[in-house]
Amino acid sequence: MKHKIHPVILCGGAGTRLWPLSTPEMPKQFLALTTNRSMIEETAHRLSSVPRPDLEFSAPLIIGSKHHEALLSATLPDARKILEPFGRNSAPAVAAACLTNDPDDLVLILSADHDIRDVPAFQDAIAIAAAAAETGAIVTFGIEPSHPATGYGYIKAERVEAAIKNVEEFVEKPDLATAERYLEAGTYYWNAGIFLFKVSAMIEALNEHAPDVLAGTRKAMSAQQEDPIHLVPDAFAATPSISIDYAVMEKAQNVKTVPVQMGWSDIGGYHALHSLLTEDDSANYTSGPVFARNSEGLYVRSKGPTVAVNGVSNLVIIATETDVMITPTSDDAAVKILGTEVQSKRAQLGFSTGLKERAQAWLWNAFDRWSESAWDDERGGFVEQLGLDGRPDLEADRRVRVQARQIYSFAQAISLGWPNAALAESLSERGLEFLDSKLRAPDGGWIHVFAADGAAKDLRRNLYDHAFIILAGSAAFNATGSALGLKIAQDAMAFVETHLKDQTNGGWEEQIPGTLPRRSNPHMHMLEAMLAYHNATGDSLALKRAGECVTLFEKHFFDPETDVMSEFFNQDWSTVETRAKTVFEPGHHYEWATLLSLYDTASGHDSLSWRRRLIRRADATGLNPDTSFAFNALRQDGEIMNTNSRLWHQLEMFRAYMVHQGVATRAKAEVLLERIFESYLDRGPDGGFIDEVDATGAPVSKAVPASMMYHTVTAFAPLI
C-alpha cells in the first residue's frame, strides 16, 4: 500500500543554545551546521532524497514565525507557510496543521533543526507508522538510546518484540541515575518530538483533551485560505501556550511508538555538534580562519577574524563579526545564559556600574516628573513643553508628533522596568485614545498642529508625524499588547502607503499638501518606525519598507565622496545645494548610524562601512572644538550654519558610540555621557533638562521641550 504523507515542519525557536552562531534574527534552523544546506533545507530534503514506492510526500507545510517570513520564503520558496505572530508552543502549531489538511490526510510533524544520519531507517519507520496511523493511532518515533541522556524526555513502551509498540507513559527529563535505569530497562526511548497521525484522529484528541487549543487556533486562522496564512494576533494570544506532549500525547489512549535507530540528534548544543562532526571527543573541528596547535577536543568556528589557539582542550570557541564566545564543550547550559545576558546587555558592557546607575536614576526621575506634568487633565493631550521652572505650559500649541513621542516614551518606560508601570500604561493608552478620537484629519491621516483647547490649527498631513505615530503604536503594542496601538500604527501605515508614497522617485512625499524641499529626516524616522512595527508584529512589508529607506540612504542621501549625509533634496532626490554647500546635521549622522545597525540586525544587511564613515565624518568636522559637542548644522565645506548645540545631537552621538565599539571606545562614550550630564541633564528643572547651549556651553533654552524625552529614552534604553 502506498501512503501519501503531508509533512509539516515546525520552525519556531530562537536556537539560544548555539549562540552566537544562532541569534533571534538568524536561528539555527536557517544555518548550515552539519552539511552545506541549512537545517530546515536538510529537513525538507531528506523526505525526498531516498525515493521509495510505498511512500509519497507532498510539498511541506512550514509553521514558523512571522518575523522569519523573508528567510522562509528565500529558503523554501515552494513550501506552504503558516506564520505565527509569536510563539505559542507546539500544540497550537499541530492544531493549525490539522486545520489546513483534510480529515483523512496523514500528517508528519517534524522539527526544522534536527539531524538524521540514516535517512532510509527513518523512512522505514515512517512506513511502519503510516500503516498504524491509517487505523487511527497517533504515532511517535522513539529513538533507541545510545547513552543515559539527561537532556531528553523519554517514552516508556510496552515490553514486546514488535516494530510498533503501545506507549505506556511519557516521562520528563531524568537525572543521571534515572536515565541509567531507563537505559538498562530497555523499554524507554528518547522522545524525538516527531509524530505521524491521521488528521481526524488528532482533531478528535484535541477536542477531547485540549478543546481550547483547537478553538483558539481555529479562530486565529479565521478561515484564511491564502498562502502564507497569517494567524490573527489577538485570537492567537488567547490560545493556550502548551506543548503537544502535555496537551494530547500524555492523555490520549491511542498512542503508539516506532522504535528506531537513525542517527538522530536535536543538536541541542555545541557538544552535540562536535560529536556529529568528529570521530571522537578528542578530535578538533574547525571552520573558517582557524589555526589550532597542541590542542584537542575543540569546536572552533570563525565567521570573521582569524582565531589562533594553543595548549587548550575541550573548548567551544565561536567568533562572529560582533561576538566571541569561549566555554567548555561540556557546559551547554552556559551558552544560553551567555547569549541571553550579552544580547540584553550588549550596549552597557564595559560601562562603569556607577554611570549606568546614574543614567537609570535620572531617567526614572524624569518619568516621575513627566508622568505628573505631561498630561493635560482638563483638556486632554500631552503638553508641548515645561517652563524652566518645571511647570507645564498649558497654553502652547501642540504638535501631533510630540503626542506620539510621549506615547512612545511611556510605552518604553514599561519595557525598561520603570517601577510605576501601571501609570505608564495608563498615560500611553490615554495618549493613544486622544490621537484616535481628537487628532485625526477629516479626510484621512492625522493633523499636524492643534491648539491647547483641542482645535485644529494646521491640517497638513506630515510624513514625520505619521512616522512617529507608527512608532508610538508599535511600541505600545509591543509593551502592553494594546489593540488600539496596533490599530493606530496600521492606520498610519495605510495612510502613508496610499497618500504619500512616491511611486516614481521612491520614498514618501513630505506632506499633504505637497511641498519642497524633500528631506532625508522623515525617511530616517520611517526607517525607525518600520523597524519598530516589524519588531512588534513580524510584518514583512514593514521590513521591506525599511529596506527602501536604506536604499534611499545609499543611493541619494549619503555622498561617498565627502562622507556627508545631506538633509534637503529636490523631487527627484537630487540635492538642493551644490556639493560644497550641502547642509548636514551631525546628530543625524549619528542617528542614521544607529538605525542602520538595527536594520542590519533585522535583515542581515551589511552597512558597517557606511556607519563608520557617518560617525567619523561627524566626529571630524561636526564638533565644536571648545565644548566637544556637536554643532546643530554645518555645510560640507566646513561653514558652521548654527553654532549652538542641542541636546538631541549629543544623545545620538552617545548612542552611536555605544553601538559602534570599533569606532569609539567605551572610555570616550563615558566621557561624553558625563559631559551631557554636566551641561544638559543636571542643569534643568528637576526631571527636566537644558535643551540647547551656545558655542561657549552657556544655556540658551527658554523651555523644556517634551519632544526631547524620546531622545533620552532611546539613548539610555540600551545602557539600562
* Mean pLDDT value of segment 346-352: 80
Instruction: Tell me what pLDDT residue 491 has.
Output: 97
| Separation CA 16–CA 353 (nearest Å) | 27
- The model's pLDDT over 390-424, given as tens digits with 9 standing for 90+, comes to 999 999 999 999 999 999 999 999 999 999 999 99
* Mean pLDDT value of segment 535-542: 87
* Mean pLDDT value of segment 10-31: 88
Statement: residue 126 has pLDDT above 90: yes
Least confident of 169-178, 204-213, 641-650: 169-178
- pLDDT more than 70, % of the chain: 100
φ/ψ of residue 577, rounded to 5: -100, 170
Q: How many residues does the chain have?
A: 720
| Separation CA 701–CA 197 (nearest Å) | 70
Where is 560: in which H helix or E strand? none
* Mean pLDDT value of segment 644-659: 96
Q: What is the pLDDT confidence band of residue 146, given thresholds at 50, 70 and 90?
A: confident
Instruction: Tell me what pLDDT residue 223 has.
Output: 66
- The model's pLDDT over 443-471, given as tens digits with 9 standing for 90+, comes to 999 999 999 999 999 999 999 999 999 99
Handedness of CA 122, 126, 128, 129 (dihedral sign): positive
3-state DSSP of 126-186: HHHHHHHHCCCCEEEEEECCCCCCCCCCEEEECCCCCCCEEEEEEECCCCHHHHHHHHHHC
| Separation CA 187–CA 201 (nearest Å) | 26
Question: In 3D, which of 710, 664, 25 has the Cα closest to residue 343?
Answer: 25
- The model's pLDDT over 177-224, given as tens digits with 9 standing for 90+, comes to 999 898 889 899 999 999 999 999 999 999 999 999 999 999 999 766
| Separation CA 97–CA 113 (nearest Å) | 18
Instruction: Tell me what pLDDT residue 224 has.
Output: 67
Q: What is the pLDDT confidence band of residue 316, given thresholds at 50, 70 and 90?
A: very high
| Pair 470, 492: CB distance under 8 Å | yes
Instruction: Tell me what pLDDT residue 20 has.
Output: 94
| Pair 121, 240: CB distance under 8 Å | no
Round to the nearest angstrom and report the end-to-end CA distance of the chain. Answer: 63
* Mean pLDDT value of segment 263-289: 92
Instruction: Tell me what pLDDT residue 392 has.
Output: 96
3-136+193-254 has which fold? Spore Coat Polysaccharide Biosynthesis Protein SpsA; Chain A (3.90.550)
State the average pLDDT for the chain.
93
| Pair 170, 250: CB distance under 8 Å | yes
| Separation CA 598–CA 583 (nearest Å) | 25
Q: Which residues are CB-contacts of 705 (< 8 A; sequence separation ≥ 6)?
A: 384, 385, 402, 691
Residue in the structure block whose three cell numbers are 522596568: 417
Q: What is the pLDDT confidence band of residue 492, given thresholds at 50, 70 and 90?
A: very high
Statement: residue 113 has pLDDT above 80: yes
Q: Which three cell numbers stand for residue 509?
A: 512625499
Instruction: Report DSSP letters for 567-591, one per residue.
Output: -EE-TTS-BSS-STT-EE-HHHHHH
Instruction: Tell me what pLDDT residue 573 has.
Output: 97
Least confident of 423-437, 656-670, 705-719: 656-670
Largest CA distance in the chain: 89
The whole-model pTM stands at: 0.79
Instruction: Tell me what pLDDT residue 173 has.
Output: 85
Give residue limits of the domains in the chain.
Answer: 3-136+193-254, 272-344, 350-716
Residue in the structure block whose three cell numbers are 563615558: 670
| Pair 74, 604: CB distance under 8 Å | no
| Separation CA 435–CA 468 (nearest Å) | 12
| Separation CA 92–CA 250 (nearest Å) | 16
* Mean pLDDT value of segment 643-652: 98
DSSP code of residue 472? H
Q: What is the CA radius of gyration of the chain?
A: 29
* Mean pLDDT value of segment 542-568: 96
* CATH architecture of the region 350-716: Alpha/alpha barrel (1.50)
Instruction: Tell me what pLDDT residue 670 has.
Output: 92
Helices (H), 49-118: 69-75, 90-99
Q: What is the pLDDT confidence band of residue 508, given thresholds at 50, 70 and 90?
A: very high
Is residue 381 left, alpha or beta, with left meaning phi > 0 and alpha meaning psi from -120 to 50? left
* Mean pLDDT value of segment 714-719: 93
Cis peptide before 228 (omega within 30 of 0): yes
Statement: residue 601 has pLDDT above 90: no
Q: What is the pLDDT confidence band of residue 476, given thresholds at 50, 70 and 90?
A: very high
